[in-house]
Amino acid sequence: MKIVLITQEEPFYLPRFFQKFKQTIDAQIEVVGVVILPPFNGQSHWLGVIRDHFFFYGLPTFIRQGWDFVRFKVLDFFSKPTDQGQRFYSVKKLSQAAEWPLLSTNNINHPNFISHLKALQPELLVSVACPQLMKAELLAIPARGAINLHAGPLPRYRGMAPLFWCMLQGEKASAVSIHQVNDRIDDGPILAQQALPIEQGDSLDALYLKLIRQGPHLLAVTLDELRQDRVTPQANSQAEGSYFSFPDRAAGRRFRKKGLKFR
């Protein structure tokens, strides 16, 4: 089954996610393209992004996150995509090492990209942290449509940063959910879901690492079951759903005030 991966660039978790995914997928799954979209929806005002993150994280975590961000970017710059057994710090270098073709676009719904994707004839689009909505014309291209990996329990916790919101709301578990994509956010039928326990003392970083351990395997199994037409979609009820936007400074302050930890 030919798939196209759609994601964004970040140095902390996504390269590790896709590295494990590469090690897990069945040989019958062929990655014919990877779309790496700009982070933060392509925001050009980096000073604003930095300011927002400062007030969101608080000074100690902001310094640690900033240091790791710079360090990972430097390590990525000097790494070679042909190195074996290494940790990757960008989805781009991992894709090059895996020999997954990179597809260039800043807008997955642009007519030029639509035309290029039609020529590839993928059977399925696979979204992991895709920052853009897929419109009807794009979704109509693959015979099997598109699926999305969501780091939250559906139908609740639709939207942005579900792991953060699950912790802030005092949940005992989040989930890794895989659902079909339609023209509404996190709304399509659920294909697979696996609990992601939130244990006493877990940081947000620890939850993302749990996601990296569980998510690639669940995605690989779901792809194999889709290939064999063995998936039974489950309802993703709008009536039972709840939506969360990207957390703002006030949410970050509430998170820290409750004694919860980012790292």
Q: What torsion do the CA atoms of 133, 114, 26, 177 make, to the nearest 10 degrees? A: 10
Position 44 confidence tier, pLDDT thresholds 50, 70, 90: low
Give me the chain's average pLDDT, please: 92
Q: CA-to-CA distance for 43 and 45, rounded, in angstroms?
A: 6
The 3-class SS string of 174-188 reads EEEEEEECCCCCCCC
Mean pLDDT on 109-116: 95
Position 84 confidence tier, pLDDT thresholds 50, 70, 90: low
Type of residue at 132: Q
State pTM to two decimals.
0.93
H-state helical runs in the chain: 14-24, 46-57, 59-78, 91-98, 111-120, 136-139, 162-168, 204-227, 249-257
Q: What pLDDT is recorded for position 239?
A: 76
Q: CA-to-CA distance for 75 and 225, rounded, in angstroms?
A: 37
Mean pLDDT on 120-137: 95
Q: What pLDDT is recorded for position 220?
A: 96
Res 111 pLDDT > 80: yes
Percent of the chain with pLDDT over 70: 97
Residue 180: φ, ψ to 5°: -70, 150
Res 52 pLDDT > 90: no
| pLDDT tens, position by position, 184-236 | 889 999 999 999 999 999 999 999 999 999 999 999 999 999 999 999 999 89
| pLDDT tens, position by position, 135-193 | 999 999 999 999 999 999 999 999 999 999 999 999 999 999 999 999 888 999 999 99
